[in-house]
Amino acid sequence: MTQTQFTPRVFSGIKPSGGLTLGNYLGAIKRFVGMQGQMECVYCVVDLHAITVWQDPRELANMTREVAAGYLAAGLDPTQSILFNQSQVSAHAELGWIFNCVARVGWMNRMTQFKDKAGANAEKQSLGLYAYPSLMAADILLYHATHVPVGDDQKQHVELTRDIAAKFNHDFGVDFFPLTTPVIEGPAMRIMNLRDGTKKMSKSGDSDMERINMTDDADKIAKKFKKAKTDPEPLPDTLDGLKDRPEARNLIDIYAALNDATAEATIAEYAGAGWGKFKPALADLAVAKLAPIADEMARLMADPAEIDRILGAGSEKAREIADPILRQTYDIVGMLRS
């Protein structure tokens, strides 16, 4: 069956589980802001996803606000994009259930992120962590989103979303859900840990020195880049020369992404430079770009009621799109409505 033309719409989300990192900023938020105005955008703080691992109920609401503050401080405009938190739109959980009944256990067993997170302890993880990708598919398909900007680590989940959409359409003989395109492009698809260039930069690493947090001040940012692991070689003149140098490659990618440049142009600019030259330049660039965002986040967080108001208004707009799509889904599946 050829697909209907769906109106272009962007959806993406971030979990409020721990602070935002430079990986979240460059791999997601900065790119979300860049897509604003190009098509309709729906951006979510996915609090239902956060509780797949334990979250302190006294902190969760504030972490939700902090992710919203990160979006806003980075330039997301709630009059142009829809910005809301997932649990205020109950259709996410409802469609997630339907998709639990569409997705196959074998598909979930292939999800590498679950295997990485669960490790040898899979039996002790929540059922929610295992089923998480079908809720993510619901997040996306509830808006008939056609484009999903994410970092590289989410690629498999967006591919699974396509599989769920295709199976739903096939099983029910409809052309109802779009086959969403993951948008994974630019130099920041996978920002790595500053102490080990083979590991992803994440919110939950052992040491704070491994990552840049979006709330770090100028001194911390400069110190972390100064202490970032590198190797003794100067920078080569092409990216090929960085093949087996993951830490060096990561710092070039970070510089490029912060500077709105390509990694190719960045390596050409710094060809032959030693770390004594490159690291201070990177730290200065990062401080210039990130410190104003951190300041704005702090300003926004001082007025939590205003953030709550923005998320509430966004949730209303989200429900206007989501509720009719959920109702049609129920009709397709055959749920009785009195």
Give the residue nearest to ligand TYM (CB): 27
- Pick 78 or 182: Cβ nearer ligand TYM: 182
Rule CB under 6 A: say whether 15 interacts with ligand TYM: yes
Of 45, 19, 46, whose CA–CA distance to 290 is shortest?
19
Q: Do residues 325 and 165 touch, judged by C-beta distance below 8 A?
A: no
Q: How far is the CB of 182 from ligand TYM (least distance, A)?
A: 9
Q: Do residues 211 and 286 touch, judged by C-beta distance below 8 A?
A: no
Tell me which stretch binds ligand TYM (CB under 6 A): 182-190, 256-264, 282-290, 291-299: 182-190
Q: What are phi and psi of 182, to 5 degrees?
A: -75, 135
As a whole number of Å, the end-to-end CA separation of the chain is: 32
Q: How far is the CB of 152 from ligand TYM (least distance, A)?
A: 6
Q: How far is the CB of 28 from ligand TYM (least distance, A)?
A: 4
Tell me which stretch binds ligand TYM (CB under 6 A): 7-15, 121-129, 165-173, 326-334: 7-15
Q: Which amino acid is at 280?
A: P
What is the DSSP annotation of 255-315?
HHHHTT--HHHHHHHTTT--HHHHHHHHHHHHHHHHHHHHHHHHHHHT-HHHHHHHHHHHH
Q: Do residues 179 and 145 touch, judged by C-beta distance below 8 A?
A: no
CA–CA separation, 45 vs 119, rounded Å?
26
Find where tokens 């970092």 sit. Answer: 151
CA–CA separation, 281 vs 288, rounded Å?
11
| 117 in active site | yes
Rule CB under 6 A: say whether 134 interacts with ligand TYM: no
| 167 in active site | no
Q: Which amino acid is at 159?
A: E
Tell me which stretch binds ligand TYM (CB under 6 A): 135-143, 264-272, 299-307, 325-333: 135-143
Per-residue binding string, ligand TYM, 199-218, x by CB under 6 A, is: -xx-----------------
| 229 in active site | no
- Pick 114 or 275: Cβ nearer ligand TYM: 114
Rule CB under 6 A: say whether 19 interacts with ligand TYM: no
Q: How far is the CB of 51 from ligand TYM (least distance, A)?
A: 12
Binding site for ligand TYM (CB under 6 A): 11-15, 23-24, 27-28, 46, 49, 136, 139-140, 148, 150-151, 153-154, 157, 188-191, 200-201
Residues tagged active-site: 117, 200, 203
